[in-house]
Amino acid sequence: MKLGIDNHLANQLAAHTKRLDALDARDEHLDAFILEGKQRLLNNREFAGLTFADFNTYYCGEYFDGRHCDSLVRFVAACDPALPTNKASLGAYQKFVLEALDEFMAHHRRKIEAAFDAHYRDAA
């Protein structure tokens, strides 16, 4: 009798492990899909129904109430390209923009996942 229980438990464990492996694989593919989407948006191309203009509206309006956008525009307007310190400032602003892009993607996670699921459903 013990052998039958062991086989049942082993089969249950194997089925559960297979489901977890499938979920892990989906998460890996979704992460790659999102990375590709970020590049598409930064290259001014549509991704999952989202555009760079949507991101810009988010960055200038919703992300920290637009304060980062205000300081970026102020920096660009007053920037002296000949000053070497401006390169470091530009790098900091780029970091803020990329962080905002991550937040934008998280904000639209459901929409992105729906596009991901549709993409792989159509590919199958």
pLDDT (0 to 100) of residue 106: 96
* Secondary structure element (H or E) that encloses residue 53, with its range: helix 52-61
Name the residue ranges covered by the structural domains of the chain: 2-123
77 contacts 86 by C-beta, under 8 angstroms: no
Q: Rounded to two decimals, what is the model's pTM?
A: 0.76
- What tens-digit pLDDT sequence spans the chain (124 residues)? 456 666 656 666 556 566 655 566 889 999 999 999 999 999 999 999 999 999 999 999 988 888 888 888 898 898 888 888 888 888 888 999 999 999 999 999 999 999 999 988 877 6
Among candidate residues 71, 108, 110, 116, the one with its CA nearest the CA of residue 92: 71
Query: What pLDDT, on the 0 to 100 scale, is given for residue 55?
Result: 95
**Whether the Cβ atoms of residue 34 and residue 112 lie closer than 8 Å to each other:** yes
Q: Other CB atoms closer than 10 Å to residue 42's CB: what's the count?
A: 14
Helix (H, G, I), strand (E, B) or coil at 46: coil
